[in-house]
Amino acid sequence: VYTRDEVLALVTEYWATGTIGSAMRMYHANAAISPEQSARRVETPSGFSLYPGDLVTAPREWLERTTNLVYVAELPRGGHFAPFEQPGSYAAELVRFLEPYRA
């Protein structure tokens, strides 16, 4: 998906700004969540765009059980870095999810 220049630009951005630690912190924190905490239900209206190339695709049944699921879409292209890979699709998904909440 990425050109050599794009990969080098991203690596350089993390290196030059010293931000790789904060970018990786979420993965470390998520791995430390207890099973009891992981089982809690999120009541905030939640939306998910499922990209086929992501590292893991959450089953819809699990999303329904653990969240107040108000929006879910399965997209034809994209992966773990969807905003970078498919910026137009990603932006359109945000608009679709948020549309019902506009004043």
pLDDT tens digit string along 32-69? 989 888 778 999 999 999 999 998 889 999 999 999 99
E-strand stretches of 29-81: 42-50, 67-74
CA distance 72 to 103: 22
Whole-number CA gyration radius for the chain: 16
> Which two structure tokens, joined as six digits, stand for 4?
């050599």
pLDDT tens digit string along 76-91? 999 988 998 999 999 9
